[in-house]
Amino acid sequence: MHLLQERIRKDGRNLGNGILKVDGFINHMVDPVLMDECGKEFGRLFGRLGARLILTAEISGIAPALMAGRSLNLPVVYARKHKPVTMPNKVYLTTAPSHTKGVQVELIVSPEYLPRDTPVLIIDDFLASGETILGLVRLVEAAGANLVGIGALIEKSFEGGRERLKSLNVPIETLVCITSMDDEKFEFAE
Amino acid sequence: MHLLQERIRKDGRNLGNGILKVDGFINHMVDPVLMDECGKEFGRLFGRLGARLILTAEISGIAPALMAGRSLNLPVVYARKHKPVTMPNKVYLTTAPSHTKGVQVELIVSPEYLPRDTPVLIIDDFLASGETILGLVRLVEAAGANLVGIGALIEKSFEGGRERLKSLNVPIETLVCITSMDDEKFEFAE
């Protein structure tokens, strides 16, 4: 997606160790108009899958997932990293390693919002190692729901996430693909 | 705002101790189309203030703030509760008591996204005791930015937040106002 790629080129920063700083428009300060355009693109890519619900991981997945939900007119469920007081005690919970935090984080969903047999589309900000998305997939499986597709704003293809998700046999769509992050630069797939 | 009030009447639950469970459409499972309508309403209410940036607190403020940002074409900054690795070490930080969590939470903003003299609109999900919003106000003041307005989806007027914010002398707008939460019910201001 040209608009997002140009924004990464302009405002993204390579912090080294494969960490791409995009917090000027995705993670900390968000450009809602850009995110809305990304949501519409997800709408075009996934509109025919019959999803009934979008699942994402807080916090950085929320903006793209919400705008995809707006475009597809679907509810968006955040897997929470901390259990809020309003959540019942019986939950679906898994852990996933956070590349940027260097620790395991919990991903928690209340069963009332992830019903059995629901066709679920997963949307996140990054597809890098695929670990967070695999955590979301485990929640879908624990709930007996049906994964129908996976989308991310930015793929870092050199981290191998797409390979790890291949056996799930669902469409995987990313809006921008970065193929290398050496020497403080980054290169995009054409 | 009629649409939001009806949704609270239908799907909101009074958990006691003044806690209103709205996680079926705002906090955990989000209805992006309802949030977009709320965002447009904030756009109508605040369009003339000249805000250049919206500030909110993660996580529950993100959906209404993003949709307000979409409507007003403004960037949205989340005050983070945990400092991410991509954030520099010099930050604006305050703490605020969380009513639902029973602990103090940190609110952290990177100075690069809250520039001095910027007219800032604060948007959050609830205006209850006003403590979280006062925390956001302290961040605006620490940055030397200018608060121009405060908006929330749902006001719980019996918790006194509006009184606490009055001396700030900025417009305070809420889309729905709950005046009491006794006996497992809740009553709305007309």
All structural domains of chain B: 2-188 (3.40.50.2020)
On chain B, the residues whose CB falls within 8 A of the CB of A58 are 58-59
Structure ipTM: 0.94
Q: Which of A25, A27, A28 is the mutation pick for testing B, counting most B CBs within 10 A?
A: A28
Rounded Cα gap, residues A24 and B5, in angstroms: 34
Instruction: Give the 3-state secondary structure of residue A166.
Output: helix
Q: How many CB atoms lie within 10 A of CB A142?
A: 15
**CA A138 → CA A96, A101, A141, A179, B51, distances in Å?**
10, 21, 5, 27, 42
Instruction: Pick the more confident residue, A81 or B71.
Output: B71
Q: Quick: pLDDT tens for B60-114.
A: 999 999 999 999 999 999 999 988 877 888 999 999 998 666 789 999 999 999 9
Rounded Cα gap, residues B14 and B124, in angstroms: 20
- What token pair was written down for B41? 């309403």
Shortest CB distance from A87 goes to which of B28, B58, B74? B28
| Residue B138 clears pLDDT 80, i.e. is over it | yes
B21: which residues sit within 8 A by CB, 6+ positions away? A86, B12, B13, B14, B15
pLDDT score, position B88: 85
Are B55 and B139 spatial neighbours (Cβ–Cβ below 8 Å)?
Answer: yes
Rounded to the nearest angstrom, the minimum Cα separation between A5 and chain B is: 18
Contact A66 B66 (CB under 8 A): yes
- What token pair was written down for B182? 């006794």
Tell me the pTM: 0.95
For A80-190, where are the E strands, in sequence order? 92-98, 103-109, 119-127, 146-156, 172-180, 187-188
**CA B16 → CA B60, B93, B97, distances in Å?**
20, 31, 19
Angle at B27 between CA B108 and CA B128, to 5 degrees: 70
pLDDT score, position B122: 98
Which of these, B119, B102, B108, lies nearest to B50 by C-alpha position? B119
B12: closest chain A residue by CA: A86
Are A37 and A55 spatial neighbours (Cβ–Cβ below 8 Å)?
Answer: no
Contact B63 A67 (CB under 8 A): no
Distance of CA B129 to the CA centre of its chain: 12
| Residue B143 clears pLDDT 70, i.e. is over it | yes
B21: closest chain A residue by CA: A86
Between chain A and chain B, the number of residue pairs with CB atoms below 8 A apart is 130
Q: Quick: pLDDT tens for A135-154.
A: 999 999 999 999 999 999 99
On chain A, the residues whose CB falls within 8 A of the CB of B36 are 70
Give me the mean pLDDT over the A98-112 stretch: 86
Rounded Cα gap, residues A189 and A42, in angstroms: 19
Cα dihedral B172/B178/B179/B182 (nearest 10): -150
